[in-house]
Homo-oligomer: A and B are copies of this chain.
Amino acid sequence: MDNSSSRIVDAIRQWIDTAAPGARLPSTRQLVAEHAASPVTVQKALRTLAAAGLVESRPGVGTFVRATRSARPQDHGWQTAALGAPRSSLPRVAGALRTAPDDAQALHSGYPEPGLLPERLVRAALVRAARGTAATARPPATGLHELRAWFAAEVAAATPAHLSGPGAHDVVVVPGSQSGLTSVFRALVAPGQPLLMESPTYWGAILAAHQAGARPVPVASDSEGPDPDQLDRALRETGARALYVQPSYANPTGVQWSPDRAATVLDVVRGHGAFLVEDDWAHDFAIDTDPLPVATQDDSGHVVYLRSLTKSMSPTIRVGAVLARGPVLERLVADRSAESLYVSGLLQHAALEVLSDPGWRSHLRRLRGQLRERRDLLAAGLREHAPSLHVDLVPAGGLHLWARLPDGTDPEQVVRDCESGGVWVTAGHEWFPTEPSGPYLRLNFSGPDPGGFPSAARTVEEALRRQG
């Protein structure tokens, strides 16, 4: 839908909500005047509403709110027995996915605000892709060859000379990293079996683990990465075959593994004949350092590497990749085929267009500075205006600060109190695969209106004081 037509649809829909069934809509002429739109745009909005069954037009008479049937409430109680217990108790939809009102200070989201995305580049790429013949064809189940090659080349370029880098044939394109995670977990972990995860870690990965029927087992991390001794013990005691990690700018803690720690962790994983699932979610969100994927240090097939473009390119480009070497890739491809056959060719072609455009690299360079500025602004704001919060680490990349609350704080209450003050934050316990190790908030510094960070910090402090 173009904007203006979509806007009119929304306005009329709101009007319908309060109108009686059978009520007559304002005339096209009135709507044209009211919305300062062309008759073509108004007609289009009316067609959309008719297609949605909300209005019906009687030619020569007018357009009317569709008379709805008397909606007697249905009793669907019989389903309770038929459905039985769910396969896994999936957590509720995450706080990070809630949509904040336009005038709120949104620090809760997991995405950068649109102003930090290469919108113009993405739109142009989508338009070009839509005009090419290849974009409407069905691509191979594993993805477009060039796109697979791009993902492989990114890792291969950073692979040291004594190791053999991955190739296009080691990559399967997936419709976003969430789908990649569920497939990887289904491929690696049998139902009911353990899956080691850093703790805290990304809520989407915890969700995917439950979805795949895996049993999340937390492994503690410090400021350099997972504790190798604890990892060794956990692998031995649980017999787990896989460890899920975010070695660069982990979500939520912001930790970047030290090279030494990465090497030790990889050795421990190898020693147990296990897989390391590396979710390189913030590869494009580096600020002070550069990410060096653990996948570049491995050609033995122990690292399964996930990379997504959704967060850094556009929420509409649901395109990512899993890089895996050896028989595990075949199992992954079989899972992806059964799950969704293939990924939309248009989105793959558009992603490739953006990646091949020189503007993409210059966008990422610019983004680095923008993220630095916002991170420092939020960190300074918290230091100055929210002394009850404790931020252990100002991360060298990523999108968030991870802030410890005073012991005994109820983070849910803080979230509600902040929200009534117009500031949206997320409670930290969604990032813990088991019981939280303490009360935390996660605060996104890549949201809109960085000028409001200091005032948002004051709101958080007030909410904390209300509890203290």
Contact = CB atoms under 8 A, between A and B. Distances in A.
A225 interface: no
A134 B76 contact: no
A42 to B, nearest CB: 13
Contact of A211 (B80, B338, B358): B338
Contacts of A349: 1
B146 A9 contact: yes
A74 B299 contact: yes
A18 interface: no
A90 interface: yes
A289 B49 CA distance: 28
A1 B300 contact: no
A58 interface: no
A10 B27 CA distance: 55
Given A136-B122, A136-B316, A141 B97 contact: yes
Contacts of A61: none
Q: Is the interface of A mostly helix, strand, loop or mixed?
A: helix
A350 B33 CA distance: 27
A338 B208 contact: yes
A341 B99 CA distance: 14
Nearest to A313: B136
A365 interface: no
Interface string A249-281: 000000000000000000000000111000000
Nearest to A109: B138
A188 B3 CA distance: 39
A418 interface: no
A106 B129 CA distance: 26
Contact of A127 (B52, B131, B164, B274): B131
A90 B352 contact: no
Nearest to A81: B273
A90 B338 contact: yes
A82 B1 contact: no
Interface string A320-337: 000001111001001101
Contacts of A338: 90, 178, 182, 207-208, 210-211
Interface in A68-100: 69-72, 74, 76, 78-87, 90, 93, 97, 99
A316 B3 contact: no
A172 to B, nearest CB: 13
Interface stretch (A148-156, A408-416, A425-433): A148-156
A77 to B, nearest CB: 8
A221 interface: no
A211 B137 contact: no
Most B C-beta atoms less than 10 A away, residue of A3, A187, A346: A346
B331 A83 contact: yes
A135 B127 CA distance: 12
Interface in A290-336: 299-301, 314-318, 325-328, 331, 334-335
Interface in A101-129: 111, 114, 117, 119, 122-123, 126-129
Given A1-B132, A149-B53, A76 B339 contact: no
Given A146-B9, A347-B346, A2 B131 contact: yes
A274 B341 CA distance: 28
A133 interface: yes
A149 B54 CA distance: 8
B126 A126 contact: yes
A357 to B, nearest CB: 8
Contacts of A168: 52
A226 interface: no
A356 B44 contact: yes
A131 to B, nearest CB: 6
Contacts of A141: 93, 97
Nearest to A301: B76
A149 B358 contact: no
Given A6-B134, A191-B213, A318-B340, 12 more contacts: A13-B145, A52-B150, A53-B152, A69-B161, A72-B164, A83-B187, A97-B341, A119-B136, A127-B130, A178-B339, A178-B341, A210-B338
6 contacts: A51-B150, A70-B164, A74-B326, A76-B328, A82-B275, A87-B186
Top 6 A-B pairs, shortest CB-CB distance: A76-B326, A53-B153, A52-B149, A126-B130, A211-B338, A138-B315
